[in-house]
Structure 1
Amino acid sequence: MLNASCVRLVCQSWEKLSPTPTEGVALGKQFYTNLFKLDPSLQEMFRGSMTEQNLRFIHIMDTIVNAIDKVDALVAVVERLGVRHVGYGVQEEDYIVFGNALLTTIEQGLGDDCTPEIIDAWSVTYKTLADLMKKGAEAASSVV
C-alpha cells in the first residue's frame, strides 16, 4: 500500500516533471513515444489526436497525484478508468507495458534527480492503481 514516504516522493517528483502545461504536454508526448517503442501494436488503440491524448494523460496523472494521499477517494475514479479501458481493448499484459513506459518517462524527465527511491515509489503507486483499474475492468467484463 502507499505509505507517507511513497506519497511524498511521487508528489515531489511530479511537481518537477510537470510544473507547467507546456512541460506536461511534452511529458505526455514522451510517455507515448516510450509506450509505442515498447509495443508498437498499442498505437492502434489511439485513433484521435495525440495532442489531445497527451493532455488527457497529464490531466489524469494530475488528478491521481493530487489525490494520492486519499487512495480511498481515488478507488471509484480509478476503477471507472479501468472500465473505460476495457472498451479501448486494453489487455492484462498492456498494464505491464504501460507501467514500464511510465517509469522510463519518469526517469527521463527527472534525469539526474531520479533516484531508486523515486522509482520504487512510482512502482508501488502504479501497481496499486493498476490493480484498481484491473478490478474495475474485471467487474465490467463479468457484467457483459
Structure 2
Amino acid sequence: MALRSISEVPLPDPATIEQVRLSCADIPEGSTRLSRAFYDNLFTMVPEMREMFSADLKPQQQRMADALLSVVQHLDTPEELAGYLRRLGSQHHRELGVRPEHYPHVGRALVRAVSEVSPTWSSSMSSAWVLVYQWVTAHMLAGAELAASSSSHGAR
C-alpha cells in the first residue's frame, strides 16, 4: 500500500463504503475481536512496533476498536471524519511515535484482521478496505505532518 497525499486519494464511492460496512456488520459495538486480530498481525509482521505500546494492550485494543468502527460508520460524513482523522494522526505521531513508514504495515495488518474476523469476507471486500484505508491514511498523515512541523518549529 503506497502512501498518497489527501489530494491524490478521493473518498471511496458509496458501493466501496458499503462493502467495508458489510465486512464489519457482524462485529458488535464494544467488541475488541477485530483489534486483537489487528495487533496480533501487526506485531507478527513488525515485532519492533510492539515496544510503542504499553504492556497492557487491552485499553489500546478498545480505543482502536471503537475508533475503527466509528470511522466505518461515519464514512458518509467525510468532512467531519477527515478532521477527526487528522487529529488522530497528530495524536499518534506525538504520543506513540507513529511514522509514515508504519502506515503500510498497519494497513496490511488491518486488512488481514478483517479477513480473519468477517464471516462475509471476499476479495472485493479486500479491495474496498484498501481504498478506504488509503483515504483514512492520507488524512491521518496530514495530521501527523502538521504535528511534526509544529514540534520542529517549537524545537528551534
Q: TM-score, with normalisation over the residues of structure 2?
A: 0.85
- Residue by residue, what CA displacement relative to the aligned partner does 1:29-85 show, whole Å, maximum 9, x if unpaired? 111100100000001110152111111111101210110111111011000001011
Give me the whole-angstrom Cα distance separating, in 1, the residues matched to 2:29 and 2:14: 25
Give me the whole-angstrom Cα distance separating, in 2, the residues matched to 1:46 and 1:101: 16
Residue 69 of structure 1 aligns to a residue in which SS? coil
Give me the whole-angstrom Cα distance separating, in 2, the residues matched to 1:48 and 1:78: 25
Does the Cα contact within 8 Å between 2:75 and 2:81 map onto a contact in 1?
A: yes
**1:115 is matched with which residue: 113, 117, 122?**
122
Partner of 2:113: 105
Partner of 1:80: 87
Partner of 2:19: 9
Structure with greater contact order relative to length (CA < 8 Å, sep ≥ 6): 2
User: What are the equivalent positions in structure 2 for 1:82-97 lying under 5 Å apart?
Assistant: 82-87=89-94, 88-97=96-105
Displaced runs of 4 or more, over 4 A = none
Q: Any stretches of 5+ residues in structure 1 without a counterpart?
A: none
**1:38 is matched with which residue: 22, 36, 45?**
45
Identity %: 27
User: 1 or 2, which has the higher helix percentage?
Assistant: 1
| Alignment size in residue pairs | 140
Partner of 2:76: 69
Whichever residue aligns with residue 98 of structure 1, its letter is V
Partner of 1:129: 136
**1:60 is matched with which residue: 64, 67, 71?**
67
Give me the whole-angstrom Cα distance separating, in 1, the residues matched to 2:33 and 2:74: 23
